[in-house]
Amino acid sequence: MRPGDVRTVMWKELRELGDALTGGSRAQLVVLAFVGVFFGVISPMRRGAAWFTDGSAVLSYAFIGMVLLMQPIADVFAGERERHTLETLLSTRLDDSSIVLGKLLGVLAPVCAATTLVYAVAIVATNIEFGHGQLLLPPFWSVATTLAAIVLIPGLMAAIGVNASMHANTVRKAAQMLSLFVMGLVFLPLIVTQVFPRAWVTRLVALLNGHSPAQVGLAVGAGLLALDIGIVLLALARFRRGRLALD
Amino acid sequence: MQSAIRTQGLTRDFGKLRALDGLELEVPAGSIFGFLGPNGAGKTTTIRLLLGLLEPTSGSAEILGHDVATAGDRVRAAAGALLEHPGVYERLTAERNLEYYGRIYGLGRVEIAARSRELLEHFGLWEQRAKRAGEFSRGMKQKLAIARAMLHRPKLLFLDEPTAGLDPASAAALRDDLLALVAHEEVTIFLTTHNLDEAERVCGLVGVIRAGKMQALGAPAALRTQAGTGAAGRRVEIVATGLTEELRAAVAARPEVESASTRPDGVLELALREGGRPAAVVALLVAGGAGVDEVRRVTPSLESVYLELMEA
């Protein structure tokens, strides 16, 4: 893998995304504006500073990232295949890992940046509404956990999305596979509580209660990071020029 | 002369289908090789194998001294390709398309700008450089894709049907460009085309493939000479006045004549049997009252060679 090549592929993904936003795709701009206004202004202004510590920020901002990521990540390979640009890209000197990582990061980076921006706007909005001259800031563990969630949860989705898009014939098919994953993620807590024995769930809750939020966040973050890396490695292993050229 | 492309027994199967069957090919550096064949003959599979996009079932290929199986990345770094589809990014402008590929091949910013301008101007796209490629006509996309393939001055160019979608003037200009590239920069060009006239004009070496097997390989002139001994080389045209249907039938009945037909322009067209000569036919026509103005052997064109190979 050559970092310069990863940056080159990222550059193209960012260019296309930027051109899509400034060009014809008004729908994506509307989604972005809605997400920004709702999660950056309306929601924090209604809830007060409690959202700094109640853990809801972690889920909210991870959710934003997942929503923003859905379409572009499904497009990375399947879209190139649909538009007949993939084979030409494969015929260049770019190595496999630069293509995979460049595409993944080219989509993930702007999504994480946009989500972080919304998070920052939400903190400012909370201060304007509830600060009364004092600076209100979330505790460090909350900021760290939220930022980690903004990167790692959409990162997990991006890694799965790259895998889904790699051999999907159409963007639509890749997006459908991703939707199934998101549904699985949403229903996972329910499945865990229903399927696993009651005693296991009780022990898990007790285990979580026995540790500080920072410790739990660190453990979950480490697990997610390992999962993200594992699924990216799976994508690299599945990347075969021959199969990609023929799909 | 050094070979730019050398294959030995290159074979590729897709399940039970043998798409390419033991291809033996040697293309000298600094030449244009024309790969001819009907759709599904194995041309695209060959290009994919030579670029390392597919792994061969058996056999090997060496490109510019690099084994494709072990140094595919070096092959791709030294080659430029226009494949089956133009492969341009329709959401990017023409300029950005070239910038992307310039970056991929490690060109500097200044070099990308200069080379992009040179190529876009050359192909008449400079004024359209800020337009999205999606707004381009098919011919303009094709020109942009050719510019992209040439951008990093590759030593080897794979061009799959490069003149498809181009108007006749642009196609002729591109043929001149290809000849100039070979003459001045010693680039090797691997060209697939359905345009046999084009192949005859620009290719120093031509291969005809059918159902994955190479049917003929050689210089266009050599292939025509070879065909001269076959059915394509035994065609004779007779320009005469006073040709009647009875005379045509009498000519067709001669033992040395395989077939005789009168074209709409009145020219009598003969296909002679092996060893057959037109003298007796001319004598028959004169005796029948026809005035023979001209008798000429038809030099087989690459097209007739190709059609003969396809019908065999």
The DSSP-derived string for B21-73 is EEEEEEEETT-EEEEE--TTSSHHHHHHHHTTSS--SEEEEEETTEETTT-HH
CA dihedral B185, B190, B193, B197 (to 10 degrees): 50
Residue A21 contacts B where some CB pair is shorter than 8 Å? no
The residues, ordered by sequence, that sit 6+ positions from A238 with a Cβ below 8 Å of its Cβ are A163, A166, A167
CA–CA separation, B105 and A80 (whole Å): 19
User: What token pair was written down for A102?
Assistant: 């460049």
**Torsion-angle region of residue B28: left (phi > 0), alpha (psi -120 to 50) or beta?**
beta
CA distances to A64, A148, A149, A157, B269 from A222, rounded to whole Å, are: 21, 10, 11, 16, 84
B-chain residues near A245 (CB < 8 A) = 48, 53-54
Question: By CB neighbour count within 10 A (0-12 exposed, 13-18 middle, 19+ buried), where does A145 fall?
Answer: buried
Provide the pLDDT confidence category of residue A51 given band limits of 50, 70 and 90.
confident
Structure tokens at A167: 């051999």
**Nearest CB partner across the interface for A91, out of B81, B89, B90:** B81
- Taking a contact as any Cβ pair under 8 Å apart, which residues of chain A between 67 and 106 contact chain B? 83-85, 87-95
The alpha-carbon gap from A214 to the nearest alpha carbon of chain B, in Å, equals 43
Nearest CA in chain A to B98: A12
Task: Identify the structural domains of chain B with CATH numbers, from first to last.
Answer: 3-218 (3.40.50.300), 229-311 (3.30.70.100)
Give strand pairing partners of B238.
B268, B295
Nearest-by-Cβ selection for A16 from B92, B104, B148: B92
- Ordered by start, the domain boundaries in chain A are 3-246
| Confidence (pTM) | 0.80
Q: Is B191 helix (H, G, I), strand (E, B) or coil?
A: strand
Distance CA A53, CA A138 (A): 7
Residue B168 is classified by DSSP as H
**Residue among A151, A109, A88, A89 nearest A15 (CA):** A109
Residue A176 touches chain B, beta carbons under 8 Å: no
> pLDDT tens track of chain B, all 312 residues?
688 999 999 999 998 899 999 999 999 999 999 999 888 889 999 999 999 999 999 999 999 999 999 998 999 999 999 998 999 999 899 999 999 999 999 999 999 999 999 999 988 899 999 999 999 988 899 999 999 999 999 999 999 988 888 888 888 888 888 888 888 888 999 999 888 888 888 998 999 898 899 988 888 878 777 765 566 667 888 998 888 888 899 998 988 888 888 888 888 988 888 778 888 888 888 988 888 899 888 777 777 777 777 776
